[in-house]
Structure 1
Amino acid sequence: MQPTDLRDDIPALEDDVYFNTGASGPSPRRVVEAIESTLEYHEYEAPANEGMYTAAADVYESASAAVADLLGASPDEIALTQSTTDGINRVAGAMDWSDDDVVVRTDLEHSAGVLPWRRLERTRGIDVRVLETERGYVDVEDVKAAADDATLFCVSSLTWTHGTRLPIGKIVDIAHDAGASVLVDAVQAPGQTVVDVDEWGADFVAAAGHKWLLGPFGAGFLYVRDGVERDLVPSAIGYRSVVEANAADYEYEPGAGRFEVGTTSPAPYAGLETAIDLLEEVGIETVEDRIASLTDRLKDGVPEDRLLSPREYESGLVTIAVDDPEATVERLAERGIVVRSLPYPEAIRASVHAFNTREDVDALLEAL
């Protein structure tokens, strides 16, 4: 499958130029059809056959295996969640916090990587420390200084504000040497670049399928490095969290399974698995090469003083300074071009995916 074939299968692209995948990606027909067929089977046929719980469990298992393959992990290291925010909260809720604990984050984290720690700051008295960044980058020396008494680092692999790549491997090494854990918000990475959790070495990686993977809302996933879960007690428990739900005394599932709780619809996870299959049909290298080429074309047309993302390719997220971001978004929308404004910096952000074309890029530049 070529990127143009993928484009032809996405109805949302028929009339508009779409540059907002960093917020949410429009799903191809095959993804929606997988969701519909799974739901129909689950509701119409499974009740009188293997049963609805068994049918759902089969989908969970298959989706977990697909996510594991995508991330270079074992299926036992994958928990299915509803979103990145959900995954981060499950980790935050499983740790035994006290006022001696320190969470370190950057000043560019999405609210998913900010609010759970603010809550713990208020309810448990933890100390939240913020690493200041410069044009989307973090200074490794600042990471070292913050690691001395840190409990957990929460950082994004790709910054949603600038599209820069943080040195996750180096941050993990520094944190682990200091005895701290690392939770990575990776939601901007799967679907546009290779993600190898072994290479990162992080303890937890939270992401979701509704952005660059072009999957549906409601299908998130959480990687938990083998063995890390043994000292964690999730804040919620249900039949999917334990080995035997009806045992006299419960025993948590080994691996990431203890972070799953109870009944959820299998339909979004069927859509997620199909989205991953489509990505593999196109090829992640093909996807990334095309994103890089189109991103370069866009950046070449943006004046140096307006480009807030790095000139050299790092991701498909391109941040452009404008005088009135919200008004610019509205003006572009009137011309059928979809981008988003950012709360910080004062800019708009264009998300360039493999389904975009050179004509899309030229239309955006002309409108700007």
Structure 2
Amino acid sequence: MPAASASPFALPDDIIYLNAAASGPRLHAVNAAAHDAVDQSARSWAFDIEAWFDHIEALRALAADTLGTEPAGLAFVPAASYGIAVAARNLPLGADRTAVLLAGEYPSNRNAWMVAAERDGGACIDAAPEAGETWTDAVLRSIDDRTAVVCVPPVYWTDGAPLDLHAIARAARDRGAALVVDASQSLGALPFDFDGIAPDFVASAGHKWLLGALGFGWLWAAPHWRAHGSPIEETWLAREYRESFGTASPEPLPPYRPGASRFDAGAFARPVDVAMATAAMQQLSDWTVPGIRDRLAALTGHLGERLSAHGMAALMPADHAAHMCTLRPPAERLDAVAAAVADAGIVFSRRGGGLRIAPHLNVDRAQLDRLVDVLRAAL
């Protein structure tokens, strides 16, 4: 483990990592937890299954407390796409019904609905802003009496443009439509108002703003679905098998365990992934999600100020979330600017015709000043 005064992030000194929207910067504590878990997993003769069950449920409770919900609402899933697939299983479109999505939405959020539309005789509607509109405007304009499901994120994945989920939730409810949220690009960096928005399902990857392991994510289910939802697989951990495990197969089939755990994916309890997620969630809990949001807003705000001070305000659209944005050089200079930024050891993603900038708390203002210097020279 690093000394107390050292950065909590395991990053080399010669890079500036601005790519948390692709994969969160790795914490030293998460690395250490992974190594410890690998060592412990080799001691199979010493495995205590009851202690392991307790560890899993402790993680569920820690995540709930950190994210502002209750443990009964959370299930373990391997990816956001798995969570969206659970939602699509429980929210069939029906003939001539529609799912409202964002135009150009990330495939993990749209593929399941496209398959459902083809299967059920429904259709997917791509909400796209017209001149002067926001993404929220486009979604609200697209919701009508045919809408069965609205599936949107809190922020657009390529540039961090925000959506008003409270307004969208009200419009969906008014039309009797369900609301599904892919929160992969915000959960852990921005607070999520589970009670106020009251969606049906919320899915999120765990390796981005939640700083955990690739292949270990989260699904939140509304109370109705915790009691009546259908999982997409039948794992022994999702049912009340613990007392009878190792004996003859019980008849009738045991009921599902309480809460969203009925949606837990098979083999979700991998020791390394659970250990990494626990270490990451403990750090997020210490920082608090509102605290992370405020610190990231200060960073992106500083970047905007420095760009403005050097006559480059037009590079950074004002309509972006606290934690991420996209810089848009002139199209004819995009390749050159992207190459210059990469050559300077600055890690970003090229998305939607621009440079997506997604800092976490590994970043300081001096590093953003360095980015601005590189942009000035490249333009």
Give the TM-score of the pair, scaled to structure 2: 0.86
Q: CA RMSD in A?
A: 2.5
* Rounded Cα–Cα distance in structure 1 between residues aligned with 2:107 and 2:358: 19
- Determine if the alignment matches structure 1 residue 263 to structure 2 residue 292: no
Work out whether 1:192 is the aligned partner of 2:189. yes
Count residues with an aligned counterpart. 358
The AA in structure 2 aligned to 1:92 is: A
**CA distance in structure 2 between the aligned counterparts of 1:107 and 1:35, rounded to whole angstroms:** 38
- Structure 1 residues 104 and 331, CA, compared in 2 at 3 Å: closer, same or farther? same
Query: Where do 1:46-125 residues align within 5 Å?
Result: 47-51=45-49, 54-125=50-121
Q: Does the residue aligned with 1:116 lie in a helix, a strand or coil? A: helix
Unaligned runs of 5+ in 2: none
Contact 2:83 2:204 in 1 (8 A): yes
Aligned equivalent of 1:163, options 160, 163, 181: 160
Q: Is the 8 A contact 2:204 2:219 kept in 1?
A: yes
- More displaced 10-residue stretch of structure 1: 314-323 or 55-64: 55-64
Give 1:104 deviation, angstroms: 0.9
Q: Which amino acid aligns with 2:224?
A: G
What is the 5 A alignment of 1:285-304? 285-302=290-307, 303-304=312-313
Larger radius of gyration: 2
| Paired residues of 1:10 and 1:26 also in contact (CA < 8 A) | yes
Return the match for 2:357 from 347, 350, 354. 350
- Percent of aligned positions with the same letter in both sequences? 26
1:281 equivalent in alignment to 2:286: yes
- 2:179 is aligned to 182
Given that 1:326 and 1:341 are in contact with CA atoms closer than 8 Å, whether structure 2 keeps it comes out as: no
Answer yes or no: is the 8 Å Cα contact 1:9–1:30 preserved in 2. Answer: yes
Return 243-252 or 56-65, whichever deviates more: 243-252
Query: Residue 15 of structure 1: CA displacement?
Result: 2.0
Residues 187-266 of structure 1 aligned to structure 2 (within 5 Å): 187-244=184-241, 246-250=249-253, 251-264=255-268, 265-266=270-271
Output one character per residue of 1:220-275: Cα deviation in whole Å (capped at 9) or x when no partner.
00000112344432232121232337332333333211111422313212211211
Larger deviation, residues 271-280 vs 298-307: 298-307
Q: Are the aligned partners of 2:240 and 2:256 in contact in 1 as well (CA < 8 Å)?
A: yes
TM-score if structure 1 supplies the norm length? 0.88
Q: Specify the SS of the correspondent of 2:115.
A: helix
Question: What is the deviation of 1:164?
Answer: 2.2
Is 1:87–1:206's contact at 8 Å kept on the other side of the alignment?
yes
- Give the superposition deviation at 1:103: 0.9
Counterparts of 2:343 and 2:26, CA distance in 1:
23
Residues 195 and 141 of structure 1: is their aligned pair in 2 closer, same or farther, counting only changes over 3 Å?
A: closer
Q: Deviations over 1:182-223 (max 9, x none)?
A: 111111222322223112211111112211222221220000
Deviations 1:74-112 (A, max 9, x none): 211100011222211222234445324321112152221
